[in-house]
Amino acid sequence: MNEFLFYLDIFGIIVFALSGALMAGRYQLDPFGVVVLASVTAVGGGTIRDVILQTPVFWVVKPYYLYVILATAVLTIVLIRQPKRIPKRFLLIADALGLALFAVLGTQKALYLGAPIPVAVVLGTITGVAGGMIRDVLCNVIPMILREEIYALAAMLGGSLFILLHWLGWSDNHAMIASISAALILRLAAIYWHVSLPAFHIVEKPSKEKPSKEKGIEKI
């Protein structure tokens, strides 16, 4: 990995760890809960990518990622005090940065390890979205990918554009800057102007099914 890739990667870990720590703050978790949520958000996507590719998991090989996450979680707790109110947008922006970075970096790693092009785009998307998905599922909210505007699309666009530019002969670093920027701009535009795609909507037929006997279990 060249130096530029290395810094992008660390930056992605930091912003995703930050998004996990901010989420933990909304749920009033104790410091260890903050570290746990920051960690799963930061390493979740890359871990699933590496496990599916059956290549050594990145943070097992390079434990310094764990220190970066720990430092980010601790700094978030120390620097963000209660009286200073944090708008929800901060969490969305940290998440968008991580999404754009990891979607492209994940695609690049998968390609580099010999994955076919569509598989590389899917694995890039997984790298970008899975950490945030686990964060949201643990906090019992519907993952952003299923409720935020232009989320999976931004990740897929980033990875696909990287592959296209790479194929057009751009250097890895330039292709990366361009495709990360494109994914990020698209996602930020969706956050600020609420640009959204038309929803696919199924109206349910009034059901004649007998009511559930189960208590405390939500029906579909």
Contact window for a second copy (CB under 8 A) among 87-95, 97-105, 163-171, 174-182: 87-95
Residue 79 binds to a second copy (criterion: CB under 8 A): no
158 in Cβ contact with 124 (< 8 Å): yes
Q: Shortest Cβ distance from residue 72 to a second copy (Å)?
A: 13
Residue 193 binds to a second copy (criterion: CB under 8 A): no
Distance CA 141, CA 111 (A): 33
Q: Shortest Cβ distance from residue 75 to a second copy (Å)?
A: 12
Distance CA 179, CA 158 (A): 5
Query: Among 30, 71, 167, 185, which residue interacts with a second copy (rule: CB under 8 A)?
Result: 30
Residue 215 binds to a second copy (criterion: CB under 8 A): yes
Q: Shortest Cβ distance from residue 7 to a second copy (Å)?
A: 21
Contact window for a second copy (CB under 8 A) among 10-18, 53-61, 159-167, 179-187: 53-61
121 in Cβ contact with 157 (< 8 Å): no
Residue 182 binds to a second copy (criterion: CB under 8 A): no
Q: What is the CA radius of gyration of the chain?
A: 19
Task: Please give the size of the binding site for a second copy, defined by CB under 8 A.
Answer: 88
Amino acid at 128: G
Q: Shortest Cβ distance from residue 98 to a second copy (Å)?
A: 16
Q: Shortest Cβ distance from residue 57 to a second copy (Å)?
A: 5
Q: Which of 93, 117, 101, 84 is nearest to 182 (CA)?
A: 101
Residue 216 binds to a second copy (criterion: CB under 8 A): yes
Distance CA 142, CA 19 (A): 16
Where b means 16+ CB within 10 Å and e means fewer, 98-116 reads bbbbbbbbbbbbbbeeebe
Q: Shortest Cβ distance from residue 148 to a second copy (Å)?
A: 9
Amino acid at 114: G
Residues 115-154 that bind a second copy (CB under 8 A): 115-119, 122-123, 129, 133, 136-143, 145-147, 149-153
